[in-house]
Amino acid sequence: MANNFLKAGYEVLVWNRTQNRVDDIIGAGARWAETPKDAAAKSDILIECVADDAASRAVWTDEVTGILVGAHEGGVYIASSSLSLSWVDELADRCNGRNVSFLDMPLTGSRAGAEGGTLTLLVGGDEYVLDRINEDLKTIAAKIYCFGPSGCL
């Protein structure tokens, strides 16, 4: 996904717990963010992709380095991991409490879809927020569906 954003001319920041896992994308032109907080503070759109609720909770809510610490009004913050409904609901509430826009966005299309920019995005959240970034998301997706508020899938 990051490569598709780079190819389309976007400035891309990346963060991973293991920096050398993103060396290729940094070599292609992405910039390294020191923490999820830094990525959030310097981004208009942030897409989080991790393994599970525990990893997601860690990158969003750490009191020093978490996404929510760096999130700013006007940014759009997206969870694209396989997450439980209870965590998505809590995360949506936390974002709402900070007055930042949140979307939950499971992806389908596998690695081939991510590499080819042909993912299907299943989005929950404010439709106005999705409309604001719809053209941006077309960089990585062939189909984008809005299912209503966060957690509706």
Residue 136: predicted pLDDT:
98
SS3 annotation, the chain: CHHHHHHCCCCCEECCCCHHHHHHHHHCCCEECCCHHHHHHCCCEEEECCCCHHHHHHHHHCCCCCHHHHCCCCCEEEECCCCCHHHHHHHHHHHHHCCCEEEECCEECHHHHHHHCCEEEEEEECHHHHHHHHHHHCCCEEEEEECCCCCCC
Amino acid 141: pLDDT: 98
Band (pLDDT 50/70/90 cuts) for residue 149 is confident
Tell me: pLDDT of 23 over 60. yes
pLDDT tier at 117, thresholds 50, 70, 90: very high
